Structure 1
């Protein structure tokens, strides 16, 4: 009788229609997700994963981070019926906004402290808002300073520690025929925000204190940060076109051997060391430079998973998150996509270090110098304000003092209005 009941139960499971979970990722990641999804399907026959917006005929395929956020925001704001996403694959900066809006489910009690301790501490803390956990980290990111170690050896210089060191070394090597000293992201986008935040921190300044909500954009430290960037353009250390560059444009110039220093993200390492790269084996990384008496800042980036508040399948969504954020899944992404993991053990994995020799140094930068963009619900609007006025100052459309005063005033109004 027992065998008969077991057989009936198995037949019922096989015939039952599987639950479908959906989420969206930036387009460049879509192909790499397929092997993980297929493996998940083989181990969980009662759950299907649907990566939305990736059919060949769909014009809404999100190419970058900003477009993914737009898809989420548009879907959440409709508030009609079941939302199209169950899992929320989200950038680190979106957590406070999504959580405050009630779009994410609190998962504080779904994971043990022992399991959370296996992830990078800065990544776990970035998934919290007002003491509750809304995001489990999948991959991390952090701003680093790349430098041409062969060029520094030529002029017998150590890697720069201060802004003054960077300027001096850049100008010296430019006299010897290197086109540019320092490349950074000046496009009016989140790229300029992340870049500026590191420079601001390096001068001892701050943007928004998340506890007091005090704004520091019109303080002397912020003006020094703007002036440093503006001067790199005026003195020819950085190209005039840098105010239109995002990550890809600066990476291309650097890998073509046209610059000494580059501020960018860890994925540049793989492209710079590709078989056809002009600078293969000639680069290294370090934390961003800073003013004398202050410390480096490395802007945190990264992606992780949350659960949509409106999903009808929270238990299945959690099961998927456990699988996708596992060490095995992250290891696959590290080795195939060059993304940086969020689990600590992978930074000392022999096969990973054999492929990415800079990982120990990268872990040190993450642990010692990470700075999180202000974890406030109004973050998106605050970043838009900073982008606008900072870009105006760098383009010469406003003098730095007037631009940053306006940025500070607009930010204070935003925070006062909630």
Structure 2
């Protein structure tokens, strides 16, 4: 089945959007919980180009229930906007949707995705943190498809030449970025600092590494403290002092990957998908880099849990097929292909200790350690507004327009207004 472009998707939606809101399966709504037939898998851009192959295998075995891949833009914010628009209008063209883990609560609370039977999920074989991202208000609404956690990529050839080890603390990272990088014609360190979800993640990791958090366990705003200020000032100070290049203020995932892969950075904070691309043909750093956990003030830092969940659109007319497609995509053998063909971290726990896979992907043990200690972003229906407020306040500090202290105070005030406490 051919892949539909974004432009054709827009035309498709224009012709089939339904009037009014959508309802959950079992209600008198547009969706059909027992319906079977052709379905769509709607997702952000498949950078690795592996999803169509997974669907080809499904389609060969299910000729009457074929799955069509619908790709949205690359940027997470744009993907969320288009999913929200279609689902909120009750479009039955959104059968299976691939959601960033921080969207599940909002989409479930708004009735855009249908609840699932958790008894059908092999939860004891999946990474517990990944399973938790699919729950909202005591029910399962999405099944983990991929997981993710930030890693620190470093130029192993450069550090070996200098007789240095990979950084274990912020002080190590700053010293090496300041001193070693310039001697080799490199910039020091970069993450994803453009004001979008990537910036929120980078700030969240810095804040959590310093011992802070945005909200506490009761949903109360907890960011207005010295730990959050220290975390944000770590990034702002790096830009101010030059060991984080100003160019990083415009970096999303792909721009930062290209900078590292082109041999322009000593250190990069990014996701595991970078590893196979940086190690592949044409990469200037192939065989010359390694990965370690993100550093923190006194030792290992905190990485934010990422990844995606698969959910069923509540207005889908073929929900039974949609659920079966999710079961197929999250099965162990397909999860192995998610890693080997997509370069993305799977959600089956035992794959991280599979000798063959560890031999092919030596970063798996590092990734597993990061996943075991990863922190989750706030799971609240208003997360998008939360993220925008965090990003806006943080970006002003990174630009040098305000201090980290003032930015955190503004962030706390904005978050209290959003969450109401």
Please classify the TM superposition score into its range, dividing by the shorter chain length. 0.7 to 0.9
Bigger drift between 389-398 and 189-198 goes to 389-398
The equivalent of 2:142 in structure 1 is 135
Q: Distance in 2 between the 1:257 and 1:34 partners? A: 31
**Shift in Å, 1:136:** 1.0
- 8 Å CA contact 1:191, 1:246 repeated in 2: yes
Structure with greater helix percent: 1
Counting only pairs closer than 5 Å after superposition, residues 190-229 of structure 1 correspond to structure 2 as 190-209=197-216, 211-229=217-235
The equivalent of 1:4 in structure 2 is none
1:323 aligns with 2:328: yes
**Shift in Å, 1:243:** 1.1
1:337 to 325, 334, 342: 342
**Shift in Å, 1:18:** 6.4
Name the CA shift for 1:63/1:255 in 2 (closer, same or farther; >3 Å).
closer
Name the CA shift for 1:51/1:174 in 2 (closer, same or farther; >3 Å).
closer
Q: Distance in 2 between the 1:190 and 1:65 partners? A: 7
1:40 to 58, 61, 64: 58
- 8 Å CA contact 1:188, 1:387 repeated in 2: yes
**Shift in Å, 1:107:** 1.5
1:180 to 165, 179, 187: 187
1:281 aligns with 2:281: no
The equivalent of 2:379 in structure 1 is 375
Q: Distance in 2 between the 1:284 and 1:30 partners? A: 20
Q: Distance in 1 between the 2:67 and 2:279 partners? A: 34
Q: Secondary structure at the match of 2:74?
A: coil
Larger radius of gyration: 1
Query: What is the aligned-residue RMSD (CA, Å)?
Result: 2.1
**Shift in Å, 1:295:** 4.9
Bigger drift between 257-266 and 342-351 goes to 342-351
1:388 aligns with 2:403: no
Q: Distance in 1 between the 2:245 and 2:47 partners? A: 31
**Shift in Å, 1:175:** 4.8
1:85 aligns with 2:89: no
Task: Give the TM-score taking structure 1 as reference length.
Answer: 0.87
Q: Report how many aligned residue pairs link the two structures.
A: 387
**Shift in Å, 1:390:** 0.5
**Shift in Å, 1:361:** 2.1
Q: Secondary structure at the match of 1:291?
A: coil
Q: Secondary structure at the match of 1:339?
A: coil
Task: Give the TM-score taking structure 2 as reference length.
Answer: 0.86
Runs (5+) with no aligned partner, structure 2? 1-34
Q: Distance in 1 between the 2:210 and 2:118 partners? A: 40
Q: Secondary structure at the match of 2:335?
A: helix
Counting only pairs closer than 5 Å after superposition, residues 54-73 of structure 1 correspond to structure 2 as 61-73=72-84
Name the CA shift for 1:274/1:51 in 2 (closer, same or farther; >3 Å).
closer
The equivalent of 1:22 in structure 2 is 40
The equivalent of 1:400 in structure 2 is 404
Counting only pairs closer than 5 Å after superposition, residues 147-162 of structure 1 correspond to structure 2 as 147-162=154-169
Name the CA shift for 1:360/1:30 in 2 (closer, same or farther; >3 Å).
closer
- 8 Å CA contact 2:36, 2:321 repeated in 1: no
Bigger drift between 28-37 and 369-378 goes to 28-37
**Shift in Å, 1:387:** 0.7
The equivalent of 1:170 in structure 2 is 177
Q: Distance in 1 between the 2:179 and 2:76 partners? A: 37
2:307 to 278, 302, 307: 302
Q: Distance in 1 between the 2:286 and 2:56 partners? A: 35
Q: Distance in 2 between the 1:277 and 1:311 partners? A: 42
**Shift in Å, 1:194:** 0.7
The list of structure 1 runs, each at least 4 consecutive aligned residues, that deviate by more than 4 angstroms after superposition, is none
1:410 aligns with 2:414: yes
The equivalent of 2:237 in structure 1 is 231
2:351 to 337, 342, 346: 346
Runs (5+) with no aligned partner, structure 1? 1-16, 55-60
Q: Distance in 2 between the 1:105 and 1:402 partners? A: 42
**Shift in Å, 1:66:** 2.2
**Shift in Å, 1:351:** 4.1
- 1:94-145 Cα shifts (integer Å, max 9, x gaps): 1111111122222244425xx1111111111111122211111111111111
The equivalent of 2:21 in structure 1 is none
